[in-house]
Chains A and B, each alone.
Chain A
């Protein structure tokens, strides 16, 4: 099965996020980037499919700080080819990312046609849209997201997928292949790959680089300001030892007739 996985690096929210001098974007030097969590699941799902059905997994990413480690880790997990799109200064908004990736997929030999293009269902910086449907639209492929299972048919012309709805409900859909699939969580949690394997990949594997195609499209949305959300209507904080706090809480609960 020929699989392509699109991954994105997003700001690591463990670090304190600092607003840049312009007041409308993140201070990119202060922030660390990490692999988008659902992209990690998309990669895991792709590797699982490869292990089950054979084939190849190609990972495509935009150049970004720390993307190299993510790509080598993908190789260590079992990806066959990793491609980095270079010539990007700042992480572009999702729509631009989708257009760039679609263009590269179309223009680079050996990528399309693929059986499926997997990517994460969403990312924490998807301000102007989700990557999966945008790429699908560009390539004229079917799209479905929030998936937790992908079972390709034997002839690889379609796949049965499970989509998550609210309240634990799931929907079984049949999607023709090739398609763009947004993975919410892989069948199994993303595997652990020992550091030694990643380092070995760094020595033996090559990241292919492709210069970003020129995009002339103007931005359709522009961020005019960014701020840390206020604690509007924030909680009344209770202080003291566990016993003291418990006493206060019981008071509150009793007032409300909950005790």
Chain B
């Protein structure tokens, strides 16, 4: 429908992604403010059943094509472009995940439509959409006004709670949309599963996460002691894994795991958006950093400005005492 808010519904291995629900949540809000319908574009191959999960949208446009079985950015963008030209939405929201990286940009380029990347919020001012985007690793927030339609939004994870984008009911209508796609140039050959680590950090109730602030591999022992005292495990941000101090299976963030433990203790982690993406769902977030301006303090519930090397042993000691007293 012209003037609708169109969500690109991302899915992987038979599941609609959390990022899609976040997009639906935001789209729902935006559509409400504009008095416009919310629609979802489901692209794939023989996956019509997934449309039932997109009930937040009033209409799901299902594009079925073998080429779309896996996400190849240019093929998906080509299909979406045809869809958008037919449907004329006011805005298209594409999740910014590794899976869909590039789809939004290519769509914007195909349509010569305004594009906003790193978007964290959308509002309506005088009937037109305004986007808020974070730049420079989270250090700046830009308010962006598009000069044209449709607005292609690359939505950064975490803008809305995914539950607000779920619906118990299926969408009011699911329509098929046919596209003609050129022969894909890029082919997916296979997926390489990550090696199972000794510990699945997604199952842990408590995670002690270490970042660059831990300074050296030796100090990770301090984190391990605390994790053991708390009954959890150690995980890390990308720099720590890249250095080889922790196994890849312990990485939390955009290219790592998304975790939702009861307690996430972020030690020496600055809080770059790529990491925050992986842990913002934790029930209790405590951050320790020597820099009081660290972005992590924006997402944490409790914060301590201190050197990890001083705090970790003290905290481990305190936890052990408490536990011993409780069991006495």
A–B touch (CB < 8 A): the answer is yes
Chain A residues engaging chain B, CB cutoff 8 angstroms? 10-11, 13, 17, 19, 24, 26, 94-95, 121-122, 124-130, 132-134, 136-138, 142-146, 160, 162-176, 179, 182, 184-185, 189, 218-229, 231-238, 241-243, 245-247, 249-250, 252-254, 256, 258-259
| A and B contact pairs by CB, cutoff 8 A, 26 listed | A26-B140, A95-B115, A127-B133, A128-B108, A136-B106, A143-B102, A144-B102, A164-B98, A165-B98, A166-B255, A168-B194, A168-B257, A173-B188, A174-B187, A175-B186, A220-B114, A221-B114, A221-B115, A221-B145, A223-B143, A226-B140, A229-B139, A229-B140, A233-B298, A236-B302, A256-B284
Contacts of A231 in B (CB 8 A): 297-298
Closest to B133 in A: A127
With contacts A227-B140, A245-B306 known, is A168 near B297, CB below 8 A? no
Contact residue among A13, A130, A171 (Cβ-Cβ distance under 8 Å from B188)? A171
Contact present for B192 and A171 (CB under 8 Å): yes
Identify the stretch in B41-49, B59-67, B172-180, B319-327 within 8 Å (CB) of chain A at 4 or more residues.
B319-327
Assuming A127-B135, A253-B263, what are 14 further A-B pairs, CB within 8 angstroms?
A127-B116, A129-B108, A170-B192, A225-B142, A226-B140, A232-B298, A235-B301, A236-B301, A237-B304, A245-B306, A249-B304, A253-B319, A256-B283, A258-B205
Contacts of B134 in A (CB 8 A): 229
Most buried by B among A142, A179, A182: A142
Closest to B195 in A: A168
Contact present for B140 and A247 (CB under 8 Å): no
Contact present for B144 and A221 (CB under 8 Å): yes
Contact present for A174 and B105 (CB under 8 Å): no
B147 at interface by CB-CB < 8 Å:
yes
Closest to A174 in B: B187
> In the complex, A140→B109 CA distance in Å?
12
Shortest CB distance B70–A (Å): 8
Contact residue among A10, A167, A221, A242 (Cβ-Cβ distance under 8 Å from B257)? A167
With contacts A127-B116, A226-B143 known, is A137 near B148, CB below 8 A? no
Shortest CB distance A97–B (Å): 13
Identify the stretch in B20-28, B31-39, B209-217, B308-316 within 8 Å (CB) of chain A at 4 or more residues.
B308-316
> In the complex, A27→B285 CA distance in Å?
34
Residues facing A in B136-188 (CB within 8 A) are 136-148, 154, 185-188
Contact present for A245 and B146 (CB under 8 Å): no
B256 at interface by CB-CB < 8 Å:
yes
Contact present for A243 and B105 (CB under 8 Å): no
With contacts A222-B144, A222-B145, A246-B317 known, is A168 near B298, CB below 8 A? no
Contact present for A145 and B102 (CB under 8 Å): yes
> In the complex, A166→B154 CA distance in Å?
17
> In the complex, A174→B186 CA distance in Å?
6
Contact present for A172 and B192 (CB under 8 Å): yes
Contact present for B147 and A219 (CB under 8 Å): yes
Contact residue among B73, B136, B142 (Cβ-Cβ distance under 8 Å from A133)? B73
Contact present for B73 and A259 (CB under 8 Å): no
Contact present for A246 and B318 (CB under 8 Å): yes
Contacts of B102 in A (CB 8 A): 130, 132-133, 143-145, 182
Contact residue among A13, A129, A144, A162 (Cβ-Cβ distance under 8 Å from B136)? A13
Shortest CB distance B306–A (Å): 6
> In the complex, A27→B280 CA distance in Å?
31
Contact present for A245 and B314 (CB under 8 Å): yes
Contact present for B286 and A173 (CB under 8 Å): no
Shortest CB distance A19–B (Å): 8
Contacts of A246 in B (CB 8 A): 311, 314-315, 317-319
Shortest CB distance B324–A (Å): 11
Shortest CB distance B263–A (Å): 5
B237 at interface by CB-CB < 8 Å:
no
What string of 1s and 0s marks CB contacts (under 8 Å) between B10-21 and chain A?
000000000000
Contact present for B301 and A220 (CB under 8 Å): no
Contacts of B285 in A (CB 8 A): 235
Closest to B194 in A: A168
Contact present for B302 and A137 (CB under 8 Å): no
Contact residue among B185, B193, B257, B303 (Cβ-Cβ distance under 8 Å from A236)? B303
> In the complex, A221→B142 CA distance in Å?
11
Contacts of B240 in A (CB 8 A): none
> In the complex, A145→B254 CA distance in Å?
14
Shortest CB distance A39–B (Å): 15
For the complex of A and B, list the 10 residue pairs with the smallest distance between their C-beta atoms, beginning with the closest. A168-B194, A235-B303, A242-B314, A246-B318, A220-B114, A235-B300, A129-B105, A225-B143, A137-B109, A246-B315
Contacts of A179 in B (CB 8 A): 185-186
Contact present for B242 and A133 (CB under 8 Å): no
B7 at interface by CB-CB < 8 Å:
no
Contact present for B297 and A234 (CB under 8 Å): yes
With contacts A129-B115, A242-B310 known, is A143 near B73, CB below 8 A? yes
Closest to A241 in B: B314
Shortest CB distance B244–A (Å): 10
> In the complex, A13→B273 CA distance in Å?
14
What string of 1s and 0s marks CB contacts (under 8 Å) between B98-140 and chain A?
1101101110111011111110000000000010011111111
